[in-house]
Chains A and B, each alone.
Chain A
């Protein structure tokens, strides 16, 4: 009964806009990408990078016209961006007009990330966990202590955990057991010989959600509430992977400190999609036991130790970057949920679209030896 037809677009055909994209990293040179947007029905148009624009970057009032780098297709500024720098990017193009965007480089998060690892020692309540998984698991708690003492204008953050492991789970802990879901590398269960190496080095970016991501609020009560909400050990904030990054707002202002506890769980063997996998320490990857019988009994690995490696990035973000990323994540959700309203990506470009934003990142590595124990 229903049918589908093409229809003519009867609305006003909007004109292409100048697009400026520049994410400034503290301590690095500045790159500016200039392109144009394309009308949605002109999808086959591939010539959208603009190499004949005039790009002027001002750092604290000192302007320079940037040259175009054909290799990277960016306009490149050799000057290094420093924390606190005010950066204005102005671009003009003979066809697409003039646009401008500005940002301030946030302060570097100095000595604010420390990590310690403690063994947790298995499940407190196995009723949440199927036995065939639980008895092969041992869990560890990764304490990420964050202490910030930054000027008031740097109140947005991002925390990213990276691991070369093909599989790990991050949970909030509570008194009764575990909340959260397991996160897998998208193609981790499509293991095969050819892609073994590729998958083994693939990086899983676990992204931590938060329940409250309001950008600006100076009310003290609200900040307290926010900190409470961000207590990820609370039952109400299960940490489900793969949806949001952690953007904390004013969480750590005025020298407040916060310790976030992550339960890092590794399992072997595991079940997924009806297949059985075991962890191969030499490859840092789970291998389908069914296809690799010659690897031996996976239970032999239960007593193995291996090195677990994490990288933890902690960044302070300019407000523009926070808003941009936040809307970008919503945009992704829209792709998942067909019932949600379309998202407008945040832009701070006057006269066009795109983003000029900045962040300062500190990376901490975490290595520890991990051993399986069998829960009797």
Chain B
């Protein structure tokens, strides 16, 4: 059915394009960049509107706009929230290149700067997308005062958080690996630090974040459920700025400025946690208390994560720009211990477990003529984890050594070439087309074990006593993926706007090729000047999967490609909604969606990455899922009080009924993160220039889990004793279905306050006081049954109880920052 639908939609796209009336008359083009007048930072999604003709557009992700207008008088109004509106009136007699720098209204009033994108609001054809400026993300109260992009996104309708405290996104019933997270257009595979408690996106380095939950434009592909497009700051072309902050978990430094005034700028951001500094200090103290023994024991132990974002931007001229961007970040758990037990013996142990991303991009933007914008890039992204353990034992008198090494690693490595074109042939068409090719290298898992024992004899002769060298793992897999797309954001009539597109993806792996045409269409009908109705459809294909069957993000989670056995995942999503802008005060939206997914992967029951030595393909089952829901959002974008209220009603189901791959006996069941209701309230109130408040409250129906509500004895009673050693406890649990138990509802209040003060030297200091889970709600991190024993008289009897484990009670925190 999907294939038929695809063909139908593809034909429809072609017909609409051919049938479009040639409405353009004598047109001339105005194009250029919209920038921050002070720093020359390009402004994404700024609106450019000609009041004379009523025609307008928005800047693309590089701040570029192109607008074809009738020759004659033009009155261009350029808007970007937080900046003074700019008006340019002139007579258009030829194609014109016009730079539009905007003056900032308030340099410090961050909480008042809230996005309001023309293409996402009531008037745009795009739906199921939300744009959040980084300033508002920074204003959301967070755990330990650590601003986090993904956790702010979790507060949006249709987005769920999964396990408390983690940064995973469950968008409209999708899994975390179904989200394409992009830094400057390059995918990031591992978006988590500290098992998911923090995301890898350092807010100080970020300019803009856009989330797409459905109706995906054709230039995005590769994931089923969402696109998170994160754009890094370009850097100030004219002045040096920076900020430094120190918090409970990490310290951050951001610095930007010109390398060549007006031509080249840079932005560099770094973040590092320092829990290892504390643990090492504790360890030093412990070792120092050993007194005279201290020289016999030396070592260190710790965990940290760090991030580094670097971006360099060079403007050759008004047509050409070059961007170089780099992100690297890693988590590291380590210990090192050197022990000297006696004069002739020494043991040295070293352990390190490091995992992280490296993302690099070189991008060239070129304006071709007046109507076409070209973006060509070469990208590299990798995620890998590497665990190493070495043990060295030395016996000096016998001159013998024993060494043992264990190395485990896995990773995914991508190299991509991409070219995108934005073409505005007439005011009625905003065309994008492009192509990309990616070489993937998957190294799912590898383990090497090496051991050597040797002894040195007289005359320097070395005798090898024992050796052992073993290597295990799956072979590396090369894959090639290409994407070609075309889309047109068309104005059909004054009140009707349609975005139609087609993306085609080809994935070649293990001698097999998968091809998938992906039609996309969305449309908008204006009912009044402020009220519109939208609808959209998107078909998506995903060729890579993340094998992870727990709620935490672990470095052992494996990215694997489709194979001969494992088919690509597909999704079809329909969405319909209505949007209303209330007097520039508030944007209201109501959306409904229905999404189906096929070839979803789940670990089989009783199987996980710790289980057995069988190939990963034999550990997973394939099935399908469907989800539907309604999302309501009211977002206030301006003023001292801003924020949003969101409500989501949703349902997510799964069915794994293929022979040999049955889950839940082949019957449908609720997905783990099927939550019927979720309410999110986020507000920021700017009391004065020196004081502002933030508040977040959320309520969500509890997650689902599987609970054995009945226990019974196995058919072969001896197994009861053999496996459990128990005769008074029945061994087998019975659950009427998978995810048959719903955890208690989740709710939480976070508050924060910022105290600003600008010193005479221009430096502004800010104290942030925040409180996560302010009323100390004991939300369950997990719920489990606990079997123990107690005395009943002289007899010990078994007991079983239901327990919850709460990871995050009330957490107050303070952070301090300086900006200049």
Chain A residues within CB distance 8 Å of chain B: 1-11, 13-14, 16-17, 19, 21-23, 33, 35-41, 43-44, 46, 48, 127-132, 209, 211-217, 236, 238, 240, 243-244, 324, 327-337, 339-346, 353-355, 357
Given contacts A2-B806, A3-B805, A38-B710, 18 further A-B contacts (CB under 8 A): A1-B807, A11-B741, A14-B709, A17-B710, A17-B734, A43-B798, A43-B800, A46-B728, A127-B467, A216-B660, A240-B613, A327-B605, A330-B607, A333-B607, A334-B605, A337-B611, A341-B549, A343-B605
A211-B470 contact in complex given A4-B804, A5-B778, C-beta closer than 8 Å: no
Per the bound structure, the CA–CA distance linking A217 and B661 in Å amounts to: 12
Interface centre among B710, B716, B736 (most CB of A within 10 A): B710
Residue of chain A at shortest CB distance from B712: A37
Instruction: Assess whether A333 is in contact with B730, with CB atoms less than 8 Å apart.
Output: no
Residues of B within 8 A of A343 (CB): 605-606
B804-817 vs A, CB cutoff 8 Å, 1 = contact: the mask equals: 11111101000000
Residues of B within 8 A of A127 (CB): 467, 469
Partner of B715, one of A48, A129, A355: A355
Per the bound structure, the CA–CA distance linking A129 and B469 in Å amounts to: 8
Residues of B within 8 A of A130 (CB): 451, 466-468
| Closest 8 pairs (CB-CB, A-B) | A214-B660, A330-B606, A37-B710, A21-B715, A340-B608, A342-B706, A37-B712, A43-B800
- In the complex, B604 has a CB within 8 A of chain A: yes
Instruction: Assess whether A38 is in contact with B608, with CB atoms less than 8 Å apart.
Output: no
A sample of 8 cross-chain residue pairs with beta-carbon separation below 8 angstroms, ordered by A number, consists of: A1-B811, A11-B741, A23-B716, A213-B660, A342-B605, A342-B735, A344-B738, A346-B665
Instruction: Assess whether A23 is in contact with B613, with CB atoms less than 8 Å apart.
Output: no
Residues of A within 8 A of B465 (CB): 131-132
Chain B residue total in the interface (Cβ 8 A): 78
Per the bound structure, the CA–CA distance linking A23 and B715 in Å amounts to: 7
Instruction: Assess whether A7 is in contact with B802, with CB atoms less than 8 Å apart.
Output: yes
CB distance from A152 to the nearest CB of B (A): 16
Residues of A within 8 A of B608 (CB): 337, 339-341
A340-B549 contact in complex given A19-B712, A40-B708, A41-B800, C-beta closer than 8 Å: yes
Residues of B within 8 A of A128 (CB): 468-470
Instruction: Assess whether A341 is in contact with B706, with CB atoms less than 8 Å apart.
Output: yes
Instruction: Assess whether A333 is in contact with B611, with CB atoms less than 8 Å apart.
Output: yes
Stretch touching chain A among B167-175, B223-231, B310-318, B779-787: B779-787
- In the complex, B72 has a CB within 8 A of chain A: no
Per the bound structure, the CA–CA distance linking A238 and B713 in Å amounts to: 33
Residues of B within 8 A of A22 (CB): 715
Per the bound structure, the CA–CA distance linking A339 and B557 in Å amounts to: 12
A238-B613 contact in complex given A37-B730, A43-B787, C-beta closer than 8 Å: yes
- In the complex, B304 has a CB within 8 A of chain A: no
Residues of B within 8 A of A13 (CB): 709
CB distance from B56 to the nearest CB of A (A): 51
- In the complex, B609 has a CB within 8 A of chain A: yes
Instruction: Assess whether B605 is in contact with A341, with CB atoms less than 8 Å apart.
Output: yes
Per the bound structure, the CA–CA distance linking A201 and B124 in Å amounts to: 79
Instruction: Assess whether A39 is in contact with B805, with CB atoms less than 8 Å apart.
Output: no
Instruction: Assess whether A217 is in contact with B659, with CB atoms less than 8 Å apart.
Output: yes
Per the bound structure, the CA–CA distance linking A297 and B713 in Å amounts to: 48
CB distance from A95 to the nearest CB of B (A): 15
Partner of A344, one of B735, B781, B787: B735
- In the complex, B732 has a CB within 8 A of chain A: yes
Residue of chain B at shortest CB distance from A346: B665
Residues of B within 8 A of A243 (CB): 611-612
Instruction: Assess whether B710 is in contact with A333, with CB atoms less than 8 Å apart.
Output: no
- In the complex, B94 has a CB within 8 A of chain A: no
Residues of B within 8 A of A344 (CB): 605, 664-665, 734-735, 737-738
A7-B783 contact in complex given A38-B730, A213-B660, C-beta closer than 8 Å: yes
CB distance from B406 to the nearest CB of A (A): 15
CB distance from B39 to the nearest CB of A (A): 41
A337-B723 contact in complex given A128-B468, A214-B660, A216-B659, C-beta closer than 8 Å: no
Name the prevailing secondary structure of the A interface residues. loop
Residues of A within 8 A of B733 (CB): 40, 331, 342, 345
Residues of A within 8 A of B707 (CB): 11, 40, 342
CB distance from B712 to the nearest CB of A (A): 4
Instruction: Assess whether B613 is in contact with A35, with CB atoms less than 8 Å apart.
Output: no
- In the complex, B38 has a CB within 8 A of chain A: no
Per the bound structure, the CA–CA distance linking A44 and B798 in Å amounts to: 6
Residues of A within 8 A of B801 (CB): 6, 41
Residues of B within 8 A of A334 (CB): 605-606
CB distance from B168 to the nearest CB of A (A): 15
Partner of A332, one of B549, B606, B737: B606
Residues of B within 8 A of A330 (CB): 604-607
A4-B806 contact in complex given A131-B466, A354-B715, C-beta closer than 8 Å: yes
- In the complex, B603 has a CB within 8 A of chain A: yes
- In the complex, B711 has a CB within 8 A of chain A: yes
CB distance from B705 to the nearest CB of A (A): 8
Instruction: Assess whether B610 is in contact with A336, with CB atoms less than 8 Å apart.
Output: yes
A345-B603 contact in complex given A23-B715, A216-B659, A339-B609, C-beta closer than 8 Å: no
Residues of A within 8 A of B614 (CB): 209, 211
Per the bound structure, the CA–CA distance linking A343 and B665 in Å amounts to: 10
B456-479 vs A, CB cutoff 8 Å, 1 = contact: the mask equals: 000000000111111000000000
Residues of A within 8 A of B615 (CB): 211, 236
Per the bound structure, the CA–CA distance linking A334 and B607 in Å amounts to: 7
Instruction: Assess whether B802 is in contact with A41, with CB atoms less than 8 Å apart.
Output: yes
Residue of chain A at shortest CB distance from B792: A44
Instruction: Assess whether B809 is in contact with A1, with CB atoms less than 8 Å apart.
Output: yes
Per the bound structure, the CA–CA distance linking A212 and B797 in Å amounts to: 41
Residues of B within 8 A of A213 (CB): 660
Residues of B within 8 A of A8 (CB): 802
Instruction: Assess whether B807 is in contact with A2, with CB atoms less than 8 Å apart.
Output: yes
Per the bound structure, the CA–CA distance linking A211 and B728 in Å amounts to: 35
Per the bound structure, the CA–CA distance linking A344 and B783 in Å amounts to: 18
CB distance from A355 to the nearest CB of B (A): 5
B117-152 vs A, CB cutoff 8 Å, 1 = contact: the mask equals: 000000000000000000000000000000000000
Residue of chain B at shortest CB distance from A340: B608
Residues of B within 8 A of A132 (CB): 465-466
Instruction: Assess whether A7 is in contact with B741, with CB atoms less than 8 Å apart.
Output: no
- In the complex, B729 has a CB within 8 A of chain A: yes
CB distance from B256 to the nearest CB of A (A): 36
Instruction: Assess whether A7 is in contact with B804, with CB atoms less than 8 Å apart.
Output: yes
Instruction: Assess whether B605 is in contact with A37, with CB atoms less than 8 Å apart.
Output: no
- In the complex, B14 has a CB within 8 A of chain A: no
Interface centre among B728, B744, B802, B806 (most CB of A within 10 A): B802
Instruction: Assess whether B715 is in contact with A211, with CB atoms less than 8 Å apart.
Output: no
Per the bound structure, the CA–CA distance linking A35 and B465 in Å amounts to: 60
B320-346 vs A, CB cutoff 8 Å, 1 = contact: the mask equals: 000000000000000000000000000
Per the bound structure, the CA–CA distance linking A343 and B735 in Å amounts to: 9
Residues of A within 8 A of B88 (CB): none
Residue of chain B at shortest CB distance from A242: B612
Residues of A within 8 A of B738 (CB): 341-342, 344
Per the bound structure, the CA–CA distance linking A343 and B731 in Å amounts to: 13
Instruction: Assess whether B711 is in contact with A340, with CB atoms less than 8 Å apart.
Output: no
Instruction: Assess whether B606 is in contact with A19, with CB atoms less than 8 Å apart.
Output: no
